[in-house]
Structure formats: structure tokens, C-alpha cells
């Protein structure tokens, strides 16, 4: 990820969950107020970690498919104009670690309160909790809406 963007940056973690979309919307509104660039970070891990056969996975195809899916989702969530102003990064690795690295030097890191995994009854997702304790910038955790 290129952190050499002039001006302030707002980093938002997106994982396809409604909570992460709420966080992304918040990040775009905040960035508009402070004149910042939004960087949406989507993290993927090898399916082999979930019981698939890793040798059967083409990492280039998986990353490109993920990038296309994320770009499409950003457009659906934000609309074409707003999505076009968001810098989208798809990164392979551990979500919390990737977000912490991406947020170095940022104005704020924005994440949803609940991601795709974990337990529905948990107050905070594990990634949200981890980044809130270890980030080098302020962290905004956008709570999940009541369904």
C-alpha cells in the first residue's frame, strides 16, 4: 500500500459485512469534512487455511476476483461517484495486522464493530478489538445496526 499520498488519509477496513459498510460510509463522510483521502482495505487469506487444498488455489486469480468484487461492492454501497474517489486496496494477510500497517500515519482508522466471522453475541469483533488496542492513530468503531 502506498502511504505517500499527500494530505490526510482515512483508512477503512471492509470485509463485506453490513457493519464494515457502515464504517466505510462514516469514513467517506468524515474524509469529506477534513479533506482526506479514503483508503478502503479489504484483506483476504488463502482458502487453504479453512480446509481447502492450498496447491489448488491460484493466488493471482483469487486476488483479482477479490479486487473486482470489492470494487463492485464499494459502488453498490457508496454510489459510483463516491466509490470512484475511494482508493481500494486488496491485501493478502491477517486482517488486524494489515489494517494496523495501513493505518500508520493516517488521521483515523475506521472499522465496523462486527465483522463477518465470530460470534453474533460478541460486543466487538476480534479485529475491531485488536486494532483499537494497537493502532498508532485514533480508531473509530462504528457499531453494528440493530437488525
> Residue 116 — very low, low, confident or very high, per pLDDT cuts 50/70/90?
low
How far from chain centre, in Å, is Cα 75?
Answer: 15
The answer on pLDDT for 4 being more than 80 is no
Q: pLDDT tens digit string along 51-100?
A: 444 445 555 556 777 788 888 999 999 999 999 999 999 998 899 999 99
Instruction: Evaluate whether 23 touches 124 at the Cβ level (below 8 Å).
Output: no
> Residue 142 — very low, low, confident or very high, per pLDDT cuts 50/70/90?
very high
The answer on pLDDT for 28 being more than 90 is yes
Q: pLDDT tens digit string along 126-140?
A: 888 899 999 999 999
Cβ-count burial 33-51 (b if 16+ within 10 Å, e if not)? eeebbbbbbbbbeeeeeee
Which has more pLDDT, 43 or 116? 43
Measured distance CA(49)–CA(38) in Å, rounded: 30
Instruction: Tell me the whole-structure pTM to 2 decimals.
Output: 0.82
Q: Of the candidates 118, 64, 66, which has an alpha carbon nearest to the alpha carbon of residue 128?
A: 118
Amino acid at each position: 500500500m502506498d502511504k505517500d499520498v499527500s494530505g490526510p488519509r482515512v483508512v477503512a477496513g471492509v470485509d463485506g459485512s453490513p457493519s464494515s459498510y457502515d464504517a466505510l460510509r462514516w469514513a467517506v463522510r468524515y474524509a469529506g469534512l477534513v479533506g482526506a483521502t479514503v483508503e478502503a482495505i479489504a484483506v483476504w487469506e488463502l482458502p487453504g487455511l479453512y480446509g481447502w487444498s492450498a496447491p489448488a488455489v491460484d493466488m493471482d486469480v483469487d486476488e483479482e476476483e477479490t479486487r473486482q468484487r470489492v470494487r463492485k461492492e464499494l459502488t453498490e454501497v457508496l454510489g459510483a461517484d463516491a466509490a470512484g474517489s475511494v482508493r481500494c486496496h486488496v491485501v493478502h494477510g491477517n486482517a488486524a495486522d494489515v489494517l494496523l500497517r495501513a493505518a500508520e500515519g493516517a488521521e483515523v482508522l475506521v472499522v465496523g464493530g462486527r465483522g463477518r466471522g465470530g460470534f453474533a453475541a460478541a460486543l466487538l469483533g476480534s479485529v475491531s478489538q485488536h486494532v483499537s488496542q494497537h493502532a498508532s492513530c485514533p480508531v473509530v468503531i462504528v457499531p453494528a445496526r440493530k437488525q
